[in-house]
Structure 1
Amino acid sequence: MTQKTDFKKTLDGYRARAGRFSLLDVPDLRYLMIDGHGDPNTSPEFAAAVEALYPVAYKLKFASKLDLGRDYVVPPLEGLWWADDLDAFTAARDKSRWDWTMMLMVPDWLDDDAVAAAVERVAATNRPPKLDDVRLETLSEGRCVQTLHIGSFDDEADVLARLHDEFIPGQGLRMTGKHHEIYLSDFRKVAPDKQRTVLRQPVAGA
């Protein structure tokens, strides 16, 4: 029987505790990525992005199992979020001003050719409208701070304010990269008050 790898159990970056900010060094990881802009709750572009990522990810998984004998659990959906004004995330929470990149991690044993083949298989069956926007890219974050948020996305503001304004400067650090979220719960199926989300911020010495 093929052993199935679950990256939520093997990678430290998928582990966090509620109420605690932790420093960790995140290795370079490759992701299927797709970019967009606007409120994820109302933007058709956001739904279309997710609908393009998952078929490619599952074609990769099945090819890995059949061709390489290496099975794995498709990693959780992740997102990079940013805006011209940081208050759009904390104080104002003006989602119409948000830019984002949605992502699914690709195991390091799958190469560019495997990803290209997976995209071709998706295109040959039920082609998502934004399939051509999916790309494979390496994300280099390095030193990061992260915590686990349990609850609605709209309740993240206080946690982010403490992270940005208290913990990070208190450790003599500064923010360097984009706000990163890892959705351990499927927000399409789990009630908002029970959602589990890793909140991550890349940092460097002040």
Structure 2
Amino acid sequence: MEKLDLAKAYKSYYSAPVKPQLVQFGPISYVSIVGQGDPNESGFAAATEALYTVAYSVKAHHKKLNQDFTVAKLEGQWWVDGDPRTALQVPKELWHWKLLIRMPDYVTVDQITRAREAAAAKKKELTLISHVNHATLHEGTCVQMLHVGPYSTEPETLSQMETYMENNQQSIHGLHHEIYVSDPRRVEPAKLKTILRYPVRPIE
């Protein structure tokens, strides 16, 4: 069986133009981990490592079943509790995040649980593995756009998205969602590509 590449199989999910667009997504399954704090701190890095460790454990299990797949891009949802400001307007230690890696449709919750247990047994020092769980997102109608450049300049792209929403009578109806198309460890900040996405609904 040919290895499944989710980025190729779901091009509308893993690509976006440099101008805002409306898209539709049904329910999608992921492995995920939830946390809080500055993404530049060690806790975020440990959470990311734990998430990837479980994702690769799922992959190893399915490779034995002749259902191999490429581990997908890292994604994240971001929010701030009890504050009207956006995440980029408050100290980073107040940020909440849910990191996500999309799973193929044939991966079950039980298989993710077993993969997590196998990963935890191999990497006992990485205690955050126990915090990795299955998650489902059903964002429905979304506005998305490709942001090119460092994360610090995202407000410029978000401003374009907000104008598009206003012009199309849409309002935000869900969490700020990012897909990290580029690996920041390998790509210079000016060339980073990040899909920015918001679930929306018509303004009543």
Q: Among the aligned pairs, what percent are the same residue?
A: 38
2:54 — aligned with what? 56
Among candidates 165, 168, 171, match of residue 168 of structure 2: 171
Match of 2:153 among 155, 164, 167: 155
What's the counterpart of residue 16 of structure 2?
A: 16
Aligned partners of 1:86, 1:183: CA distance in 2, in Å?
26
Aligned match of 2:77: 80
In the alignment, residue 114 of structure 1 is paired with which amino acid?
Answer: Q
Name segments (4+ residues, structure 1) moved above 2 Å: 84-90, 92-97
- SS of the equivalent of 1:149 reads strand
Q: Give the letter for the 1:153 counterpart.
A: Y
The residue number in structure 2 matching 1:29 is 28
In the TM superposition, what is the alpha-carbon distance from 1:93 to its structure 2 partner? 5.7
> In the alignment, what sits opposite 2:130?
132
Q: Which of 83, 92, 97 matches 2:94?
A: 97
What's the secondary structure of 2:13's corresponding residue? Answer: helix
Q: Which amino acid aligns with 1:32?
A: V
Aligned residues: 200
Structure 2: distance between partners of 1:146 and 1:181: 9
Note the C-alpha offset of 1:131: 1.0
Deviations 1:61-90 (A, max 9, x none): 1211212x1221111000000114453345
Q: CA deviation at 1:94?
A: 3.5
Matched, 1:40 2:39: yes
Alpha-carbon distance change, 82 to 181 in structure 1, aligned in 2, over 3 angstroms: same
Residue by residue over 1:87-136, the C-alpha shift from the partner in whole angstroms, topping out at 9 and shown as x without a partner, is 3345x364232111011111110112211121121112113121111110
Return the offset for 1:172: 0.5
Q: Which amino acid aligns with 2:26?
A: P
SS at match of 1:14: coil
The residue number in structure 2 matching 1:181 is 178
- Cα deviation code 1:17-55 (max 9, x no counterpart): 12x1111111111111111112211x2221111011001
Aligned counterparts of 2:84 and 2:7: Cα–Cα separation in 1: 29
The whole-number CA distance in structure 2 between the counterparts of 1:154 and 1:8 is 26
- TM-score normalised per structure 2: 0.92
Structure 2: segments with no counterpart, 5+ residues: none
Once the 2 structures are TM-superposed, how far is the Cα of residue 150 of structure 1 from its aligned partner? 1.1
Are the aligned partners of 1:88 and 1:95 in contact in 2 as well (CA < 8 Å)? no
Cα RMSD, aligned residues only: 1.4
Q: What secondary structure does 2:184 align onto? A: coil
